[in-house]
Amino acid sequence: MTFGAMVGQSEAKAQLRRMLAAGPGHAVLFTGPEGSGRRLLASLFGQALLCLSPGEDGACGTCRSCRLFEAGSHPDWIAPLRDPKREKTGIPVERIRRDVVGPLALFPQESPRKVLLLPGDELNETSQNVLLKSIEEPPPYAVFLMTVASPRNLRPTLVSRMVRVRLAPLSDDDMRRFLSGRGIGLPDGFAPALLRMARGIPGEALRLLASSDLPDRRVALLDLLESLGGMTHAELFDTAWPALDALGEELPWGLAMWSGWIHDMILMSRLADPAAAAREPARRQPDGIGSLAHPDRQSAYRKRVGAAADPAEGLGRCLAAVDESARALESGANREMTVCSLLLQLRKELSHAQGRQRPVS
């Protein structure tokens, strides 16, 4: 398959095409979050390196080497994966010695090269040390490819020996192309929120789409945000905090949805003439509405904007608070403290919506 088999990643592909033309060197590191397609891109590059008559855009797809590769039986392609049932903490060093270092010493059989693809996130310190030796003094026919979420997960000496190829987040258009290529249409109303939550990571979009109750949970979370301003102190801690905590690992997406709602409100306040919007809510369609994260909430937005419920500077502070909390959680801040202090701040800013009556604690 050629690089065209993969949607997006034009910069990474251009870099790989240059490497194909000029010689790939001995080691290439593909970095990008899980689900970004780094293994697919590395495999397309690997197939091109093994191909007997590669073109400008990668492997020919028809030579004997390509046929063996696509059948999964190319003898010069070494791509061990962790066995999740038996190997809890990465690929053990014994297997690296047996499946990588051992076969590496044998000459290639079908292609002029021998290409290895290693999952960097699954290699412990000892395995990395063993590999480092092979990468430092490789046989002339060997090319190492490695995937990793972040170079920080690897020893710096290992990283310094590899040329880095970065996978970029997909644009919304590329994401739609990726999904439609798999026969997946995005549900109306939910599409912008989903694209936002997937953060340009195609595997993430697939994971989110497989979660069938996600649309309902999004609506529940937006309802919750819209009612925060009217909540009592007790409701905040008895209802709102448990609802967010119940998101578990998906809390960052919950916050991304909230951030989208606040973005939308800021946009609507800017676009709409509040007085006119209140008089003719159905007919007024300000330009730029297509960029709403939650287009299905338009009527709720208009009501708030029309009532001048949320002062612009307050919304700005809400956005900053949500983004800051998301960053704090990502760097390991205490979950309950971070979320509860965010809830308090959002309630304070959004309480104007309820007839400017501050809730009583």
Q: Which stretch binds Zn ion (CB under 5 A): 54-62, 161-169, 199-207, 236-244?
A: 54-62
What is the DSSP code string of 16-63?
HHHHHHH---SEEEEE--TTSSHHHHHHHHHHHHH-SS-BTTB--S-S
Q: How far is CA 243 from CA 10, 222, 225, 305, 349, in A?
A: 40, 12, 11, 26, 20
**Cβ atoms of residues 144 and 26 within 8 Å:** yes
Q: Which is nearer to Zn ion, 1 or 28 (CB)?
A: 1
Distance CA 62, CA 53 (A): 9
Number of Cβ within 10 Å of residue 206's Cβ equals 15
> Within the chain, how many helices (H) and strands (E) appear?
18, 5
Q: Which is nearer to Zn ion, 65 or 127 (CB)?
A: 65
* Shortest distance (Å) from residue 111 CB to Zn ion: 9
12 scored as a contact of Zn ion (CB under 5 A): no
**Cβ atoms of residues 158 and 132 within 8 Å:** yes
For residue 145, list its beta bridge partners.
28, 117
Q: Which is nearer to Zn ion, 57 or 172 (CB)?
A: 57
* Shortest distance (Å) from residue 60 CB to Zn ion: 4
Q: Which is nearer to Zn ion, 60 or 132 (CB)?
A: 60
With residue 134 as reference, give the H or E element that holds it: helix 125-136
Lookup: tokens for 71: 């059948």
**Alpha-carbon 314 to chain mean position:** 30
- Here's the x/- map for Zn ion, 24-53, by CB under 5 A: it reads as ---------------------------x--
Q: Return the closest-CA partner of residue 213 out of 192, 196, 190, 195.
A: 190
* Shortest distance (Å) from residue 112 CB to Zn ion: 12
* Shortest distance (Å) from residue 61 CB to Zn ion: 6
* Residue 23 phi, psi dihedral angles, 5° rounding: 105, 130
Q: Which stretch binds Zn ion (CB under 5 A): 59-67, 140-148, 239-247, 331-339?
A: 59-67
Q: Which is nearer to Zn ion, 51 or 165 (CB)?
A: 51
* Shortest distance (Å) from residue 28 CB to Zn ion: 19
Q: Which stretch binds Zn ion (CB under 5 A): 60-68, 202-210, 252-260, 352-360?
A: 60-68
Q: Which stretch binds Zn ion (CB under 5 A): 17-25, 61-69, 229-237, 252-260?
A: 61-69
Distance CA 197, CA 212 (A): 15
Lookup: tokens for 324: 């800051």
Query: Which of 17, 35, 60, 298 is the binder for Zn ion (CB under 5 A)?
Result: 60
Q: Which is nearer to Zn ion, 4 or 316 (CB)?
A: 4
Q: Which is nearer to Zn ion, 60 or 168 (CB)?
A: 60
Among positions 62-81, residues that touch Zn ion (CB under 5 A) are: 63, 66
What number of chain residues touch Zn ion (CB under 5 A)?
Answer: 5
103 Rama class: left (phi>0) / alpha (psi -120 to 50) / beta? alpha
* Shortest distance (Å) from residue 247 CB to Zn ion: 47
List residues near Zn ion by CB under 5 A: 51, 59-60, 63, 66
